Amino acid sequence: MSTKRYFEILGIPPTKNENLVKRAYRRKAMKYHPDRNPSAAAKDKFIEVSNAYDKIIFALEEAKSQKHSTHNATRQSTNSKYPYQQRQQSKTRTQNNSTEERNERVKRARERYEQMKHEEVLENERYYQNITSGKNWRRFKLIMFACTIISTLIILDSSFFSTQTIQSAIINKDLSPNYGRNPNVNSLEVEFENGQTAWIARSFLSLTINNYTYLERTPFFKDIKYLKVYTHDKWFYYTPKFSQSSSYPLIPLALLIPLFTFFIKAQTIYFSVLYHLSVKVMPIFLLIFLFSNDRWAHLLTLGLMG
């Protein structure tokens, strides 16, 4: 049987990636494993899958070493286990002996499958220990503490601390062709005289003409919670688009992902995904948040900077 046929048995295209072969074998073996599928057809399929896996792995190892002499010696050694007379006798075995041989092949296939599962468990254990100990785990905890502290400050700043009101007129509007002159865009990026910027709807900007504009800001990070304008004997309020206030509480909840990961610490795929998200994505997310609106400066000055 050609090697291509063995790949077809495992249900994958020809490849040199042993990890892909192992995953394909594991899927097929679990499907036809005698403990899961007791039918006679499943046993035969289980033997066929195990044999295909052995042949592919053997071929890949031989291709790596490129030692034809070793390949021939191995084949001769394998064949030597079954002398010619025994192979001839096997053709005339009774049905009972054939059944015993088939059961023996199933037994060997099961042992091979169990060995692979054991090796996989050991590999997963080594991986788990690697990411939950030493410098990797210390780096994760540093990120977790930083994200948790910032998340807590955002929640306190947005929900529990009293806002501060300042008067700040609009001194500049982004009228670039990509935004302000495009009739399909309903918002403009504006700059206030205190240096902050925000995306404001055109309809609300019309109210700021010839009227005082006030900013309601959080006391710590100085995020604009909303603008207010007094005109026609009443107050009009507006929360800027694309701001921390408009998306609250998504940002603080996202920053709590590392803390959640810490508490579900376990040898599972969920923990692994959240761990890599925490150490690879969350630091970038945190830096973007801190450097926008000069939040890093407000953090260093404990909110005392205007």
Q: Which sequence spans correspond to the domains of the chain?
A: 3-130, 162-234
Query: Residues for the chain: how many in total?
Result: 306
Q: Span 63-81, mean pLDDT?
A: 54
Give pLDDT, residue 104: 73
How much of the chain is helix, strand and coil, in % rounded to 5?
A: 60, 10, 25
Least reliable range by pLDDT among 173-182, 209-218, 219-228: 173-182
What residue type is 240 in one-letter code?
P
Place 222 in a pLDDT band, splitting at 50, 70 and 90: very high
Q: CA-to-CA distance for 143 and 233, rounded, in angstroms?
A: 50
CA distance 169 to 212: 7
Least Cα distance to 252 among 213, 197, 295 occurs for 295
Which tens digits make up the pLDDT trace of 91-117? 544 455 566 676 677 777 777 777 777
Please determine, for residue 140, whether its predicted confidence score (pLDDT) is greater than 70.
yes
CB burial of residue 165 (10 Å; 0-12, 13-18, 19+): exposed
pLDDT for res 31? 83
**Can you give the pLDDT at residue 10?**
83
The more confident residue out of 105 and 157 is 157
What is the Cα 165 distance to its own chain's centre? Answer: 41
Q: Exposed e or buried b for every residue in 113-129, given b needs 16+ CB within 10 A?
A: beebeeeeeeeeeeebe
83 contacts: CB under 8 Å, gap ≥ 6: none
Q: Give the pLDDT of residue 149.
A: 97
User: In this predicted model, which residue has the larger pLDDT, 42 or 244?
Assistant: 244
Give the span between the Cα atoms of 24 and 278, in whole angstroms.
Answer: 30
Does residue 146 surpass a pLDDT of 90? yes
Measured in degrees and rounded to the nearest 5, phi and psi for residue 236 equal -115, 135
Which single residue is written with the structure tokens 């973007």?
A: 288
CATH superfamily of 3-130: DnaJ domain (1.10.287.110)
pLDDT tens, position by position, 245-299: 999 999 999 999 999 999 999 989 999 999 999 999 999 999 999 998 899 999 9
Average pLDDT, the chain: 83
Evaluate if residue 161 carries a pLDDT over 70. yes
Instruction: Give residue 18's pLDDT.
Output: 84
Percentage with pLDDT > 70 across the chain: 84
Mean pLDDT calculated for residue range 180-203? 80
Q: What is the pLDDT of residue 99?
A: 65
Pair 166, 194: CB distance under 8 Å: yes
Task: Please tell me the predicted confidence (pLDDT) of residue 49.
Answer: 80
Q: What is the DSSP letter of 177?
A: T
- Comparing 85 with 98, the larger pLDDT belongs to 98
Amino acid code (one letter) for 4: K
CB 170 within 8 A of CB 191: yes
Instruction: Identify the pLDDT of residue 82.
Output: 46
Whose structure tokens read 């899927």?
27
Residue with tokens 């929900």: 159
CA distance 149 to 303: 15
What is the pLDDT at residue 71? Answer: 47
